[in-house]
Structure 1
Amino acid sequence: MSAQYDQIGAKVADWDVLPVRSEYIEGHTFFKALGSVEAQSVLDLACGDGLYTRQLKARGARRAVGVDVSEEMIGGARRQEEAQSLGIEYVVADVADMAPLGVFDCVTAVYLLHYASSPEHLLRMCRNIHSHLKPGGRFVTYTFNPGFSAKGPNSTRYGITMLDFPESPREGQGISAELHTRTPFTIHFSYWSQATYEQALREAGFQRLTWMRPECSAEGLSRYGQEFWRDYLDNPHAVALRCER
């Protein structure tokens, strides 16, 4: 995963403003699942260039730490921190193997779990996430939708297209998605079923798992209209998942 994001580099900044990536869908749903972070400590995994890490700090997080396996992504995040200091710490690490960074009120991860290369790798990720949470803490992630259907709508107008998605994907099968930014790029990850995600999370120690389909914010509906979003909301490429320790 680090290699592909090292190569993508600054293109990720364009990704952040795509319709599906904006506060209208992804951000709106993610923060609704997360709840308030006021005066809390937050560990933001797969932070990329720090898009959500900065938003967490802006929403009142007392401490915010961003982690990503890509040195290129963390370099971009650190440059933004140098330009406008928010007091955010950034660390280069593979979530499955990262050293202890403290104990946090919540852990977040927008696009992480589907990069697991095997069930064992996924379990190591989940165990390390769990170990960084306080008792009663929560892990909220946004991950590829295990229920995505090749037969459903897959429109380019939202900024992302699943490429040659199989009707019946296998566990661990490689999946590709094209991002329609000013300089389009493709990302590659693995398909894991809902059962595989839940098994790893429960084995890691999480007690309550709540899946949340994406919702559109009032602002998004006002700007684009309900009909614009219908196809995406009927067959979203990603969903939110809240896990409680």
Structure 2
Amino acid sequence: MSAQYDEIGEKVADWDVLPVRSEYIEGHSFFKALGSVAERTVLDLACGDGLYTRQLKARGARRAVGVDISEEMIRVARRQEAQHPVGIEYHVSDVADLAPLGTFDVVTAIYLLHYAHSPEHMLRMCRNIHAHLKPGGSFVTYSFNPEFSAKGPNSTRYGITMLDFPGSPREGQMLSAELHTKTPFTIHFSYWSRATYEQALRDAGFHTLTWMRPECSPEGIARYGREFWQDYLDNPHAVALRCER
């Protein structure tokens, strides 16, 4: 999956301001699931250009480390760090093959597990995540919604459209989504059921898996109105998942 993000390059920055990607939905829901990171150590996987890694540091993380499979994404993240140093370190790696970086209070991942190309690959990811957590630590991720419905609303006004989404996707089936940025681009990933995610996480040693549907922030409702968001909240493309070690 690294090649597609190497090609996307700095266009991913446009993604960060899409309505669904902004603090109104994704950021708000992710940080609500995560809770406070003040004075905690955080490993941010699938960090991309470091958008959330920088926010984690700004929210008080004592140590923040970002990892992404794309060399181009990490190049952009490191350039941001060089221009505005906040003490973040970045590494290039497939999470399934991640070398030890220490143990952390929290591991986060915005859009990671649905890039697994097989259940075995996902299990290797989950085992490495578990190995990087301190006892009692938490893994909080945001991933494609296994219950997304092709029959439900799928409006371009939120900035993302699922392309040719099947009524009943198969395990491991390749899916595509178009991001309606200033320079639109398409991402590709694999469909996995909730059962597949949970099996890999439990086999890796996690317990108390809590799925959380996204919510809109008060700021998002104030800006666009509650009715604007309802179609997306009824059929979100992604959901949060919190797992305890």
Which bracket does the TM-score occupy, shorter chain normalised? over 0.9
The residue identity in structure 1 corresponding to 2:176 is: S
The aligned residue for residue 166 of structure 2 is 166
Mapped pair 1:65 → 2:65: yes
**Per-residue displacement from partner, 1:198-244 (whole Å, max 9, x unpaired)?**
00000000011000000000000000000000000000000000000
How many residue pairs match? The answer is 245
TM-score of the aligned structures, taking structure 2 as reference length: 1.00
Q: What SS class does the counterpart of residue 11 from structure 1 fall into?
A: helix
Q: What SS class does the counterpart of residue 117 from structure 1 fall into?
A: coil
The aligned residue for residue 199 of structure 1 is 199
Question: How many Å separate the matches in 2 of 1:98 and 1:142?
Answer: 20
Question: How many Å separate the matches in 1 of 2:215 and 2:243?
Answer: 19
**Per-residue displacement from partner, 1:12-44 (whole Å, max 9, x unpaired)?**
000000000000000000000000000000000
Mapped pair 1:11 → 2:6: no
The aligned residue for residue 129 of structure 2 is 129
- Unmatched tracts of structure 2, length 5 or more: none
Question: How many Å separate the matches in 1 of 2:114 and 2:139?
Answer: 15
Question: How many Å separate the matches in 1 of 2:73 and 2:170?
Answer: 30
Q: What SS class does the counterpart of residue 72 from structure 2 fall into?
A: helix
The residue identity in structure 1 corresponding to 2:78 is: R
- Unmatched tracts of structure 1, length 5 or more: none
Q: What SS class does the counterpart of residue 166 from structure 1 fall into?
A: coil
The aligned residue for residue 35 of structure 2 is 35
- Report the aligned-residue RMSD: 0.3
Question: How many Å separate the matches in 1 of 2:102 and 2:221?
Answer: 40
Q: What SS class does the counterpart of residue 175 from structure 1 fall into?
A: strand
The aligned residue for residue 151 of structure 1 is 151
Question: Share of identical aligned residues, percent?
Answer: 84
The aligned residue for residue 85 of structure 1 is 85
Runs of 4 or more consecutive aligned structure 1 residues displaced over 2 Å after TM superposition: none
The aligned residue for residue 20 of structure 2 is 20
Q: What SS class does the counterpart of residue 227 from structure 1 fall into?
A: helix
Mapped pair 1:187 → 2:166: no
Question: How many Å separate the matches in 1 of 2:169 and 2:94?
Answer: 26
